[in-house]
Chains A and B, each alone.
Chain A
Amino acid sequence: MNLNSPWLRGATVAASLALGAVIWEVTGRYTSDAFWAPLSATLSSLREVAVNGVLLRQAMSSFQLYIAGLALAVVVGAPFGMLLARVRWLRVALEDYVLMLYSTPMVALIPFLLSMMGFGFAPKVLVVFLFAVFPVLYNTIEGARSIKPELIEVAQSFRSGEWQLWRDVMIPYTLSFTMTGVRQAIARGLVGMVAAEFFLSPSGLGQMIMMGSQNFDTAGMLAAILLIVLLGVGLMDLGRALEKRFAVWRGYNP
């Protein structure tokens, strides 16, 4: 089968999705409502919360948390990463911490944050931030460090000052690597968001999942999960588009 034809590709994807929907529907009808509900029930539950306004309220709550944490991660991670890459002693001193935290599953820190900071909005933002910041930081450092010394010499030969070196060389070069980190952060931040809503004070879409589960409202729970999945897919696409946008010059096409 020739999958290079866009039409055939589209048809294959559509068929696969349709089959998945059918399996969901059929298995939902022949299993206990306690742990699995058919697609149709899920969708009608979704419609219900959409109409009565619960969905919008909870989604907005989640979204605020997510955006605040993610934005903080980018705003802190990118400049700090460039600074670490350019100031040698700072890098030597802090690099191991960055690497350690980059590879730590952040969920492990949640109980600690809970006892430290309690249940407010701030600790939740901190959780999303911690999930998201290390990929940004790590990729920025690695990117900024990979700049060829020859190019810095070219800049010097053309009499670039330090601030112009940042403007014309360091930042534009590093940004494309930072964006790889941002793409990872977009995905990780979503995990952080749900984790924060589960383990700190319940709120947002995370709360909807928990409540569905506790009240044996399987359709309601699946509706919230489905929403998060769709959100994740959309955000991943956004992340990839962002990354691509900043890496045109590398001939990079993920």
Chain B
Amino acid sequence: MKAPNTPPRIRIAAAGKRYQQHQIFENVDLTVGEREVVAIIGPSGCGKTTLLRCIDGLIPLTQGEILIEGSPMLAPRAGVAMVFQHFGLFPWKTVHDNVAYGLKLSGISKAEINERVPHFVKLVGLSGFEKYYPYQISGGMQQRCGLARALATEPRVLLMDEPFGAVDAQTREILQFELLRIWEDTPTTMVFVTHSIEEAVLMGDRIVVLKGRPSSVHEVVEVDLPRPRDRATLLLPHFAELREHVWGTLMADARQAEFDVIKNN
């Protein structure tokens, strides 16, 4: 149990972002606890990546605020790490050097880096590939490498933008279960964006549905499935219920939009 006066890991209050005349999202409120996994889901272009960038401190909000451990995120900060949809590996660095990147920047000695990196390389199942360049390994392995790079900084908040969006279905499934296993070992705060309803239900404690133009939090679905979660979770009747529920929420608008198009013609 956490002390009553500890601030939540992440607190997003009345957050909004506008680019010139274009309001991307507004009035987003969300509080994420210490060992909580929150999935953000919503139609393409609704501002999920933008929101995640704001949480990471890469770009500023235009309304409201985002606090991590009580202090506002105005710039990227130690303890918060991001896994990118496009992997974001440095192609001129080997797997080892990519994983070491965050550690190198935080000024840790070379000896200690060389001691720590193999642990995280092993954690994501890349042992033996330390000397490979990104172009020499598969997409799934590249994403593992991106994950290891983020994990190596031992973040208290892990942000992931469609972490498995660019890999094939089988790899995606394997990576999901591996991430669940890694999370069970060291449970941290995780916020991840996904387009997959199944992935959101499987991994999340809560699912935040972003919708509308400008978008805002349309619904927050509590996922009360037991942990640890694994393949058997997929077979639970309650899993299917939750999946259908989220599906309905997301699709209601999509279908409405389709009807609008037909009516307007």
Contacts and interface: CB of A to CB of B under 8 A. Distances in A.
Partners in one complex: yes
A151 B78 CA distance: 18
B78 A251 contact: no
Nearest to A249: B92
A160 B101 CA distance: 10
B92 A151 contact: no
Nearest to B159: A157
B136 interface: yes
A150 B84 CA distance: 9
Contacts of A169: 90
A176 to B, nearest CB: 7
B174 to A, nearest CB: 24
B252 interface: no
Contacts of B181: none
Residue of B81, B84, B92 ringed by the most chain A CB atoms within 10 A:
B92
Given A150-B88, A169-B90, A158 B133 contact: no
Interface in B78-113: 78, 81-82, 84, 86, 88, 90-93, 101-102, 104-106
A172 B86 CA distance: 20
A250 B84 contact: no
A108 interface: no
B88 A176 contact: no
B93 to A, nearest CB: 8
Contacts of A157: 56, 58, 76, 81-82, 84
Contacts of B218: none
A249 B88 contact: no
Interface SS of chain A: helix, strand, loop or mixed? helix
A160 B102 CA distance: 9
B77 interface: yes
Interface string A141-183: 0000000001101101111100010001100110010000000
Contacts of B105: 158-160, 164, 168
A172 B104 CA distance: 15
Contacts of B106: 159
Nearest to A252: B135
Contacts of B104: 168
B92 A156 contact: no
B141 to A, nearest CB: 15
Given A150-B84, A249-B133, A158 B91 contact: no
Interface residues of B, number: 25
A157 B133 CA distance: 22
Contacts of B88: 150-151, 153-154
Nearest to A172: B92
B133 A251 contact: yes
A222 B69 CA distance: 79
A129 B58 CA distance: 42
Contacts of B58: 153, 156-157
Contact of A249 (B76, B78, B84, B91): B91
A51 interface: no
A63 B78 CA distance: 53
Nearest to B82: A157
A87 interface: no
Nearest to A175: B92
Given A157-B76, A249-B135, 12 more contacts: A150-B86, A153-B84, A154-B84, A157-B56, A157-B58, A158-B81, A159-B78, A159-B106, A168-B101, A168-B105, A173-B92, A249-B92
A251 B136 contact: yes
A192 to B, nearest CB: 31
Interface string A240-254: 000000001111000
Nearest to B86: A150
A250 B76 contact: no
B53 to A, nearest CB: 8
A158 B101 contact: yes
A248 B76 contact: no
16 contacts: A150-B86, A151-B88, A153-B58, A153-B84, A154-B82, A154-B88, A156-B76, A157-B76, A157-B84, A159-B75, A159-B76, A168-B105, A173-B90, A250-B91, A250-B92, A251-B133
Contacts of A172: 90, 92-93
Contact of A158 (B86, B93, B102, B135): B102
